[in-house]
Amino acid sequence: MVSLPNKLPLAANFLLVMVIEVIVTNKLTVLTYNLKLIQINTSSIPRYLSMILENDVFVTFVLLTFANVFLTASKASTRWGISVYTFLVQMFVGAMLRWNSVLIYTGWNLFMEAVMIIALMIYTLLMGRLFQRMVSKEGWIR
């Protein structure tokens, strides 16, 4: 993200990271423990750690980069490209977690996962736009 030519202001990015972390963690908690649609393999420490890293670092970074590129790009092709890239990367990582038996789908399927990813992307964009306007209105830009 450091090499992006245009980025959201630092304050907006900071707030966006916090919001993304909250929603991603709650999503995982609700799907695994409350609804029991997904089971996390906790019998292996490396598998469990890979789930934590994917959820807390990778998805957050991908969504943060998505918001920064989408909200600052002037060309529609760039927006479409980052949207498709973000969606496909998250689907691929989810497939790798399933393939390596980190995640076990008990009542979840690929369609539900695709809808969840799209919902996360829309939520990230809405919050990014809100924080972008809030930061510019409050004068927090350097």
**Confidence band (pLDDT; 50, 70, 90) for 136?**
confident
Tens-place pLDDT, residues 11-33:
899 999 999 999 999 999 999 99
- Using DSSP's 3-state secondary structure scheme, residue 103 falls into strand
- The pTM score is 0.92
Residue 4 pLDDT:
77
Cβ atoms 27, 123 nearer than 8 A: no
Tens-place pLDDT, residues 73-117:
999 999 999 999 999 999 999 999 999 999 999 999 999 999 999
13, two tokens: 């990015």
Cβ atoms 51, 100 nearer than 8 A: no
136 vs 9: CA distance, rounded Å = 9
The amino acid present at 130, given as its one-letter code, is L
Tens-place pLDDT, residues 29-52:
999 999 999 999 989 899 999 999
Rounded average pLDDT over 131-136: 91
